[in-house]
């Protein structure tokens, strides 16, 4: 059972381009969480999704950012028209059910660099 | 405001020594508290998870304590090893699937 897989591990984009970050949850997990970690800062919640539904997007910027978790395939975090301030590590976590005592497992992260 | 604060921000200890990391939180309503270890360039890995009714939980050389009344938690590492060098993150969960992360304590174990 592979862990949470994120790709790419490193992504470089020029200002104004689009960035697509992928997260394949652990087998059997239907809940996905995205977090952003800016340099020298802690992880900040962005969005919580279940299959085909966005449950909580209160941490995601209103513009340029979107997330989806289709019925088939990985969850995608999309950042349009990237700016230098988007440079960060983006982590995905998955769990088999809504978190309470359930453990959440994190991926290795995608490091986005905007040049 | 829901917040999680950790101290110290960074810590350097000699191999074999013990250390204690602190976490204070104001998250409400409280659901559970987790300690994660994050190696440089890797995703966080869970060490312990504690609910409101648990005071102490151990995982090998890691022992976490929780005082829900004072809203404080500690992570004690005994007989430190070089591989313990990492960031240790306190994460408090509120009911409703929301996680609040501390900024972490950066631990460096030197030989």
B98, A43: Cβ pair inside 8 Å?
no
Interface of B with A in 17-36 (CB under 8 A): 31-32, 36
- B67: how many CB neighbours lie within 10 A of its CB? 10
Q: In angstroms, what separates the C-alpha of B31 from chain A's closest C-alpha?
A: 7
In terms of CA atoms, which chain B residue is nearest residue A34?
Answer: B99
Min distance B78 CA to chain A CA atoms (Å): 24
Mean pLDDT to the nearest integer, A85-102: 83
B46 contact A CB<8A: yes
Query: Taking phi first (over 0 means left), then psi (-120 to 50 degrees means alpha), and beta for anything else, what does residue B26 get?
Result: alpha
Q: Say what the pLDDT of residue A84 is.
A: 95
Identity of the residue in B41, B43, B103 whose CB atom sits nearest the CB atom of A106: B43
Percent of chain B residues topping a pLDDT of 90:
69
Say which of A48, A91, A108 has its CB closest to residue B97: A48
User: For residues A66 and A47, what is the distance between their CA atoms, to the nearest angstrom?
Assistant: 9
Contact A101 B101 (CB under 8 A): no
DSSP A26: P
List the single best residue of A26, A36, A53, A99 to mutate versus B (max B Cβ within 10 A). A99
Q: How many CB pairs below 8 Å do chains A and B form together?
A: 53
pLDDT digits (tens, 9 = 90+) for A7-53: 999 999 999 999 999 999 998 888 999 999 987 777 888 999 998 89
Nearest Cα to Cα of residue A80 among A62, A92, A93: A62
A6, A41, A103 ranked by CB distance to B46: nearest: A103
For residue B71, give Cα distances in angstroms to A50, B4, B49, B96.
31, 10, 15, 19
How many other CB atoms are found less than 10 A from the CB of residue B77?
23
State the pLDDT confidence band at B78, using cuts at 50, 70 and 90.
very high
Which stretch, A36-40, A49-53, B21-25, B51-55, has highest mean pLDDT? B21-25
């Amino acid at each position: 059972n592979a862990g949470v897989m994120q790709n790419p591990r490193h992504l470089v984009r020029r200002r104004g381009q689009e960035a697509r970050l992928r997260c394949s949850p652990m087998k059997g997990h239907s809940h996905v969480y995205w977090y952003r970690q800016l340099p020298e800062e802690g992880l900040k919640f962005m969005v919580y999704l279940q299959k085909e539904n966005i449950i909580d997007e209160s941490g995601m910027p209103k513009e340029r950012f979107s997330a989806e978790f289709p019925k088939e395939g990985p969850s995608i975090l999309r950042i349009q028209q990237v700016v230098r301030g988007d440079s960060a590590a983006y982590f995905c976590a998955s769990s088999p059910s809504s978190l309470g005592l359930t453990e959440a497992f994190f991926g290795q992260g995608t490091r986005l660099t905007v040049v | 405001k829901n917040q999680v604060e950790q101290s110290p921000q960074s810590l350097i200890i000699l191999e074999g020594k013990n250390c204690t990391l602190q976490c204070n939180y104001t998250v409400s309503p409280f659901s559970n508290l987790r300690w994660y270890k994050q190696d440089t360039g890797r995703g966080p890995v869970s060490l312990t998870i504690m609910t409101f009714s648990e005071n102490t939980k151990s995982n090998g050389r890691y022992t976490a304590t929780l005082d829900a009344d004072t809203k404080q938690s500690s992570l004690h590492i005994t007989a430190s090893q070089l591989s313990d060098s990492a960031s240790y993150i306190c994460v408090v969960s509120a009911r409703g699937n929301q996680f609040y992360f501390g900024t972490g304590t950066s631990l460096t174990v030197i030989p």
